[in-house]
Chains A and B, each alone.
Chain A
Amino acid sequence: NAGVTQTPKFQVLKTGQSMTLQCAQDMNHEYMSWYRQDPGMGLRLIHYSVGAGITDQGEVPNGYNVSRSTTEDFPLRLLSAAPSQTSVYFCASSYASGLQYFGPGTRLTVT
């Protein structure tokens, strides 16, 4: 199993650009989530999904969109990048109330 994979590993965007962070898992987990990690703020939940076709907002959803068309994939879209979205982004997956498995992260810089 590859576990949870994320692409790209690093990305630099200009303010106003859009992009999609990719996340995929091969463990057939129902639950998938996106977090951002910032110094002094810890990890904060952006969006999550409890199954294909079902998504919901977390603590900091503004400026981000998600969709879940398959069990395996859970992309995160930045609609119009802002410097405040400079962060490290982590995707995670799990069974219900089970161990969360994290991807290696995407380090995003918005200039």
Chain B
Amino acid sequence: KQEVTQIPAALSVPEGENLVLNCSFTDSAIYNLQWFRQDPGKGLTSLLLIQSSQREQTSGRLNASLDKSSGRSTLYIAASQPGDSATYLCAVGAGQNFVFGPGTRLSVLP
């Protein structure tokens, strides 16, 4: 059974710092991996989708990498801003079934 973990559980950084969020999964037979952002009391907003054949995806200040063989993905956020404060979730896809990690709660302090 696929298990997804995220480290750290919570992170607090000053504005302007570059930071890395980690996602690990136990079964490397995946179709894709997706990173989401969730604001308190809100739904999930998709940030980046990496297909299993890809190594990384970039969108603005965000860069996500995927290493299937080691069961790891990282989300890099450059020049963090207070508006980046949210919970970040990774989800590992095998067909239509996605398994979610517990999330990393990020606080960016002004």
Binding site for B on A (CB under 8 A): 31, 33, 35, 40, 42-45, 48, 50, 58, 90, 92, 97-105
Contacts and interface: CB of A to CB of B under 8 A. Distances in A.
Interface string B35-64: 010000011111001010000000000000
Contact of A104 (B36, B43, B91, B98): B43
B28 interface: no
- B interface, over-half SS: strand
A102 B43 contact: yes
Contact of A100 (B34, B99, B102, B103): B34
Contacts of A102: 36, 43-46
Interface string B68-110: 0000000000000000000001010100111111110000000
Contacts of B44: 43, 90, 92, 100, 102
B98 A97 contact: no
